[in-house]
Structures are given as structure tokens and as C-alpha cells.
């Protein structure tokens, strides 16, 4: 452990870099609360999207890294802002007209349009927790509604009333003049309608812990405690840090300009600002930011329809400060790269292992890969074999890897099922074969004739050497044009696997017949 901990203290992997920043907070004394607190927040205004998972996954990676370099206990809180008023109706949920009747109600007071939970907020919280539980995250869930109504937040809210002017000074400096006229950090919950009211506050009584405001021409006074009042979201952010003594929180780039506000309010309320980590946002296939309310981009369920959970965690690990497209076409690459890292891990030195994404995905308990066939290869096999279920692929897999079976290689078995599903839904509808050029035709005829004469075992490397040599013999420059031609003419795709490996898997005779069909125009004519 000592050797590994020493390596972790030097590691340039981003979770370790962040973990060391958190540890530095307590270089003089351990936290009085007895643990280091990591927090992640969730706005349940719509169905949880994959970015939410990413935030928890990445925070967990930092938490694990921290546990490697320190013996201080840790906790992870997932905080749901479910007391926020519903400002608009999400596009991707049923009963739109019904929901419009409940605008500005706290999300936990809005009826559930799906009819499965006590409220819309409860439904979305349950969705989030189900997703997080799927991945085995160790977390404590806190509902803002419960946090406010139970009294856990009362002491901080009374402090906010006592320090109202100081909080307002921070907030007003960030607002346009027009907004300044009506802004208050406190939002009363209407005693008559239950709606979150965005109204000017006439008076704050710090001694009694109350606020006074007008609603429909009537002057009302409410205590700031017990869930009768909530904080605007920016002050809420900082106040929560102070109330819970949060040590670390990450959030998207869209929050980064607010960091001084969050920090300032936290400190006004007697807290210590946490360490922060700002990540880049995920984009959909059109380069637009993914959004819970729009429902663009991938959902967690959608990713898990086509790949195992670990591939998603791998995607989340990669370059968190770089904006990445989050769409279906990233899945095959993520799957194959994840398994490449798994295969590399056992032979790596400790320093390299700690920099390997799989260490962070699995918390150091790294499994072995049983993917003897890459995912991209399975997709291509599904294409040429016309497979409609995973059993249709196993005949080829067994010939290629006789030692493999669904029982001995369960990960490969699941991947075969995912590959057929992915091919059917995304590859087949867009697949386009083209006719070869004359140069390509001669090269493919050459390949077919060499395969017909092949009398050796179907060794992927030996076959790759043949394919490579044919490309050079026929003057392809650059050589990747030759491989692109093979993919486009034979597989109806712009890219694919190492072609020697594909031949070995699909079969030498089968590949020769595939070439003959392509040269006869059968493949191009079928689409």
C-alpha cells in the first residue's frame, strides 16, 4: 500500500491531482466533522440525463483517489434541488397541459405526469437514484424539500436572515439594474397557492427570523425556517456548502462564472469554501449542449441498451475539461478502448496502473477482459452475417476462439447481444455500399485469389500482412485509402477493424465469397 500510495501522491492522473488538493485542506488537522464530504447536486426539473451520471462518476473517482492517499473517512452526498419551482414544462414528458397548470410550484408539489410517484420531483429523484444504484455508487441522497422542511437547514437560514445585507451586497453586484430592484435571496412559498414567489422582500427581521412581503396586495410575514421560505439558487448553493461543510464539489462550465458568488456566500455564513472542479459540457450530435428539458443527447438507459456500464464510466473519465459529443456513435469506440486498457493493466508498473482509467473506474479492483473479439469487429460481423441475435455471431466466434463460450466469456456474450442491437438500430439503416474503382477492383480480385490459395491457419497477423502487401503492390497512397475501400465496398462503412482480424473471424472462404459478391455488384444493389 505504501508503494502504491507514494505513486498516487505523484500521479498526474486528474483524479489524484484533485484528491491532493482536497487533502491539502487538512494538512494541519483532520476535519472536525470526522470525514471529508464530497457533494454533487442535481436539478430534477426534467428526467436525469447522462451528464448527471458523469458528475457523480467523476466525483466518485476523485473520492476513491482521495481514499488511496489518505486514511480520513469520506462521504458522498447527492443533493436534489427538488424544492425549486417548476419554471417551464420539459419537452420530453407526458401530460404537458396538466403540468402547465402547476407552474411555479415546488417540484415535489407538482403531480407526477407518469402517475408512478407522489410528485414529479419524487419521480425524477427515483429515476436518478435508480440510475446511480445501477452503477453501484456509494452515496447519501438528500432532498432539498426534506432538508428545508425537517429543520436541518434552519440554523443556516437564520444566519442568512442575520447577514441578509452582506448576502444581498454580493448578489446585487452580479445583477442588472432592473433585476436589482426586485431581487431578494429569499423566496417565500405562498401560504395560499403553495407556489414559489419571486417577489420583493419588504423587511427582514433577523431577531425573529422572519421576512415580510406582499402577495396579491396583502402583506404577509413568514418565518424563514421549516420550509416556508427557500433561497434563490445561487445563494442556496453557497449556503448549502456552509450548512453541510462541503469539502469538494464539481460542476459544469456554465456555473464557473458564479463560483465567486457561491464562495462568498458560503464564507459570509461562516463556512469554508470547498475545492472546486469545473468540467466541460457534453454536446449532442449537432454540437449543442445537452439539456434535461430538451432531452437531446443520450440518456443513461439508452447507453446501457447498447453497451455495458463500464464503457460509459470510461467515457466519463476521458478529458473532463474537454467538451465531447455525447451521441450513439461514440459507444463502439468507448467499448473497445475500455477493453484495451483492461488488457494493458496487468503488465503495467504501479505508476502506469494508477494513470490507467480502469483503476479509477473499478477503484483498484480491476477485472480481466474477456473480449477476445473487439466490439467494432462484432458490429462488422453482424453486418456481413446478417445476424439477428447474438447466437448468430457465436458460430463465428467459436471458430475464431474455440476456448470461448457464453459461459466462460460472459462479457463477450453480452457484447455480442449489444452489437446485434446496435447494428440493427444504427448501422443497418444508414449502411451504404459503393462499387469499387478499377484500381480497387484489381486489388480486391488479387485479395480474393490469395485467399483462395490460402492453406495456412487463419492467423489475424499473417492475414493482415497479406492485406497490407496487396495495398502496397497496387499503389495505394496513402495506404489507408486501401483499407477505406475495403470497408466501404465490403462492409458499407467508412471505418472498421483490422481487416486481417476480420478475415480470421468471418472466415477465409466467407471473406472470399463476400469480395466476389461485392465485385459482382450484389452488395451495392441491395441498398
Domain boundary among 240, 265, 282: 282
Whether residue 58 is contained in a domain is answered as yes
Whether residue 254 is contained in a domain is answered as yes
235 and 183 housed in the same domain: yes
111 and 260 housed in the same domain: yes
pLDDT (tens digit per residue) in 269-309? 999 999 999 998 777 666 666 665 455 567 778 888 999 99
105 and 214 housed in the same domain: yes
- The whole-number pLDDT of residue 285 equals 66
414 and 443 housed in the same domain: no
What string of pLDDT tens digits covers the 527 residues of the chain?
A: 568 899 999 999 999 999 999 999 999 999 999 999 999 998 887 666 677 888 999 999 999 999 999 999 999 999 999 999 999 998 889 999 999 999 999 999 999 999 999 999 999 999 888 878 878 899 999 999 999 999 999 999 999 999 999 999 999 999 999 999 999 999 999 999 999 999 999 999 999 999 999 999 999 999 999 999 999 999 999 999 999 999 999 998 888 899 999 999 999 999 999 999 999 877 766 666 666 545 556 777 888 899 999 999 999 999 999 888 878 889 999 999 999 999 999 999 999 999 999 999 999 999 999 999 999 999 999 988 888 899 999 999 998 999 999 999 999 999 999 999 999 998 888 889 999 999 999 999 999 999 999 999 999 999 999 999 999 999 999 999 999 999 999 999 888 888 999 999 999 999 999 999 999 999 988 76
Q: 221 — phi, psi (to 5°)? A: -125, 130
- The whole-number pLDDT of residue 46 equals 64
Number of alpha carbons in the 13 Å side-chain half-sphere of residue 430: 8
Domain boundary among 395, 430, 465: 430
- The whole-number pLDDT of residue 119 equals 96
Phi-psi domain of 222 (left: phi exceeds 0; alpha: psi -120 through 50; beta: other): beta
97 and 11 housed in the same domain: yes
Q: Which residues contact 480 (CB under 8 A, 6 or more apart)?
A: none
Whether residue 305 is contained in a domain is answered as no
73 and 183 housed in the same domain: yes
Whether residue 334 is contained in a domain is answered as no
Whether residue 304 is contained in a domain is answered as no
143 and 225 housed in the same domain: yes
Short-list 435, 378, 381, CA closest to 409: 378
Domain boundary among 362, 396, 430: 430
448 and 413 housed in the same domain: no
| Enclosing domain of residue 442 | 438-525
pTM of this prediction? 0.90
Whether residue 511 is contained in a domain is answered as yes
398 and 251 housed in the same domain: no
Whether residue 464 is contained in a domain is answered as yes
Domain total in the chain: 3
The whole-angstrom separation of Cα 313 and Cα 514 is 37
Q: Which residues contact 416 (CB under 8 A, 6 or more apart)?
A: 378, 390, 393, 394, 397
387 and 245 housed in the same domain: no
- The whole-number pLDDT of residue 284 equals 66
The CATH number of the domain holding residue 486 is: 1.10.10.350
426 and 456 housed in the same domain: no
Chain center to CA of 94 = 25
| Bridge-based pairing state of the strands 248-252 and 275-279 | parallel
426 and 445 housed in the same domain: no
The CATH number of the domain holding residue 266 is: 3.40.50.620
Whether residue 252 is contained in a domain is answered as yes
Amino acid at each position: 500500500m505504501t508503494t502504491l500510495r507514494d505513486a498516487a501522491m505523484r500521479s498526474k492522473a486528474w483524479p489524484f491531482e484533485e484528491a491532493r488538493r482536497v487533502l491539502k485542506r487538512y494538512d494541519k488537522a483532520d476535519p472536525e466533522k470526522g470525514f471529508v464530504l464530497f457533494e454533487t447536486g442535481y436539478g430534477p426539473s426534467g428526467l436525469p440525463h447522462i451528464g448527471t451520471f458523469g458528475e457523480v462518476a467523476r466525483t466518485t473517482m476523485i473520492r476513491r483517489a482521495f481514499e488511496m492517499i489518505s486514511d480520513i473517512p469520506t462521504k458522498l452526498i447527492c443533493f436534489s434541488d427538488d424544492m425549486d419551482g417548476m419554471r417551464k414544462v420539459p419537452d420530453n414528458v407526458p401530460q404537458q397541459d396538466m403540468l402547465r397548470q402547476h407552474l411555479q410550484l415546488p417540484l415535489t408539489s407538482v403531480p407526477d405526469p407518469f402517475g408512478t410517484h407522489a410528485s414529479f420531483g419524487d419521480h425524477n429523484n427515483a429515476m436518478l437514484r435508480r440510475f446511480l444504484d445501477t452503477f453501484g455508487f456509494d452515496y447519501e441522497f438528500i432532498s432539498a424539500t426534506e432538508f428545508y422542511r425537517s429543520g436541518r437547514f434552519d440554523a443556516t437560514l437564520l444566519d442568512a436572515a442575520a447577514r441578509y445585507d452582506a448576502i444581498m451586497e454580493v448578489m446585487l453586484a452580479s445583477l442588472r439594474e432592473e433585476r436589482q430592484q426586485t431581487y431578494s435571496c429569499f423566496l417565500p412559498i405562498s401560504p395560499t397557492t403553495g407556489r414559489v414567489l419571486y417577489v420583493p422582500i419588504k423587511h427582514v427581521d433577523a431577531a425573529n427570523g422572519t421576512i415580510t412581503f406582499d402577495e396579491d396586495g396583502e402583506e404577509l410575514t413568514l418565518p424563514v425556517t421549516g420550509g416556508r421560505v427557500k433561497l434563490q439558487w445561487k445563494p442556496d448553493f453557497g449556503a448549502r456548502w456552509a450548512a453541510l461543510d462541503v469539502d469538494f464539489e464539481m460542476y459544469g462550465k456554465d456555473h464557473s462564472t458564479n463560483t465567486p458568488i457561491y464562495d462568498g456566500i458560503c464564507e459570509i455564513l461562516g463556512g469554508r469554501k470547498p475545492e472546486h472542479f469545473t468540467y466541460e459540457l457534453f454536446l449532442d450530435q449537432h454540437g449543442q449542449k445537452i439539456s434535461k428539458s430538451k432531452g437531446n443527447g443520450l440518456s443513461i438507459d439508452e447507453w446501457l441498451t447498447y453497451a455495458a456500464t463500464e464503457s460509459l464510466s470510461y467515457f466519463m473519465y476521458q478529458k473532463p475539461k474537454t467538451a465531447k459529443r455525447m451521441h450513439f456513435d461514440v459507444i463502439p469506440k468507448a467499448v473497445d478502448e475500455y477493453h484495451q486498457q483492461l488488457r494493458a493493466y496487468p503488465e503495467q508498473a504501479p505508476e502506469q496502473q494508477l494513470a490507467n482509467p480502469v483503476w479509477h473506474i473499478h477503484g483498484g479492483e480491476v477485472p480481466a477482459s474477456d473480449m477476445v473479439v473487439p466490439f467494432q469487429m462484432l458490429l462488422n460481423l453482424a453486418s456481413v452475417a446478417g445476424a439477428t441475435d447474438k447466437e448468430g455471431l457465436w458460430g463465428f466466434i467459436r471458430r475464431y476462439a474455440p476456448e470461448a463460450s457464453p459461459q466462460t466469456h460472459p462479457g463477450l456474450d453480452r457484447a455480442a447481444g449489444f452489437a446485434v442491437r446496435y447494428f440493427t438500430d444504427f448501422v443497418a439503416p444508414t449502411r451504404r455500399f459503393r462499387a469499387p474503382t478499377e484500381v480497387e477492383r484489381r486489388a480486391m480480385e488479387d485479395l480474393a485469389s490469395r485467399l483462395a490459395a490460402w492453406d495456412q491457419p487463419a492467423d489475424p497477423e499473417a492475414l493482415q500482412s497479406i492485406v497490407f502487401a496487396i495495398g502496397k503492390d497496387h499503389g495505394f497512397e496513402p495506404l489507408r485509402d486501401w483499407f477505406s475501400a475495403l470497408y466501404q465496398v465490403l462492409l458499407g462503412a467508412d471505418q472498421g477493424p483490422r481487416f486481417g482480424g476480420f478475415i480470421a473471424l468471418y472466415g477465409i472462404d466467407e471473406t472470399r465469397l463476400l469480395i466476389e459478391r461485392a465485385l459482382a455488384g450484389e452488395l451495392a444493389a441491395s441498398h
